Amino acid sequence: MYRNLQSTTFAGHGDIAAARHRVLRNTYWLLALSMIPTVLGAWIGVQLKFSLFAASPMMGFIAYMAIAFGFIYVIQRTKTSGWGVVALLGFTFFMGLLLSRLISYTLGFSNGGTLIMTAFGGTAAIMAVMASIATVSKRDFSGMGKWLFAGVLAILIAGVANIFLQVPALYLVISVIAVAVFSAYLLYDVQQVINGGETNYISATLSIYLDLYNIFTNLLAILGIAGGSRE
């Protein structure tokens, strides 16, 4: 009887581990797929010189927040169906459009292509390191959630303030802090999937995608400020 109970317990643990592995695998696949509309959106945006912020930075920011949170709401409402995947890919296309402004600015540097590839490589390296730590470490990082959220709010407030202040040094500081905060968020979000705190792969993909997007854009901004060349 003890042996039967023991084997049932092991089977239960095996089922849980398999389910978590499946969510993680599906998350990584959908994350890879989401890069296609992001790149497409960025390319179209560069060609069309797309910008939400051209007329008014503040109104552009309000429009961005409204559209982004609208997409996030729809994704969360439909995350248990195929429509959730469609909504997520639509959101990543929109984020690609937004990225085109920074891409266009960076391409204005003589070494713009190198800066973009460096930012991409840096983002990939951070992803690899954080995912490895989340997988191997026995430490529970779930307690970081409220502190990271507070950090994001602080970055958001400072970013809005700098729309009016236009201080390059503050922009650089915000970008450096953002890379650190979203790298930690990446660790947190990946471990949430591994430990079963997040069981929906669409929600998991959304969280990790936003982490990577913010790491990439802020790395690119830092590289542009520190190493951009107009020669």
CA atoms of 167 and 177, how far apart (whole Å): 16
For the segment 208-214, the average pLDDT, to the nearest whole number, is: 96
Express each pLDDT in 91-147 by its tens digit: 999 999 999 999 999 998 888 899 999 999 999 999 999 999 998 988 888 888 889
Which residue type is seen at 19? Answer: A
- Alpha-carbon dihedral angle through residues 213, 214, 216, 217, given to the nearest 10 degrees: 110
Provide the pLDDT for residue 230.
65
| Main-chain phi, psi angles of 49, to 5 degrees | 55, 45
CA atoms of 52 and 181, how far apart (whole Å): 25
On the question of pLDDT at 222 being above 70, the answer is: yes
Provide the pLDDT for residue 5.
44
pTM for the structure as a whole: 0.90
Provide the pLDDT for residue 168.
82
Provide the pLDDT for residue 14.
67
Indicate the DSSP class of residue 54: S
Domain residues for the domain of 95 are: 2-227
Q: What is the DSSP secondary-structure string of 131-171?
A: HHHHHH--S--GGGHHHHHHHHHHHHHHHHHHHHH--HHHH
On the question of pLDDT at 9 being above 60, the answer is: no
Tokens of 46: 């560069």
CA atoms of 4 and 11, how far apart (whole Å): 10
What Rg do the C-alpha atoms of the chain give, in angstroms?
Answer: 20
Name all contacts of 88-92 with Cβ < 8 Å and 24+ positions apart.
Answer: 88/30, 88/34, 88/202, 88/205, 88/206, 88/209, 89/33, 89/34, 89/37, 90/37, 91/206, 92/34, 92/35, 92/37, 92/38, 92/41, 92/209
Express each pLDDT in 33-57 by its tens digit: 999 999 999 999 999 988 887 777 7
Summary mean pLDDT of the chain: 88
Q: Which residues contact 59 (CB under 8 A, 6 or more apart)?
A: none
Count how many domains the chain has. 1
For the segment 163-183, the average pLDDT, to the nearest whole number, is: 89
Tokens of 151: 């950090």
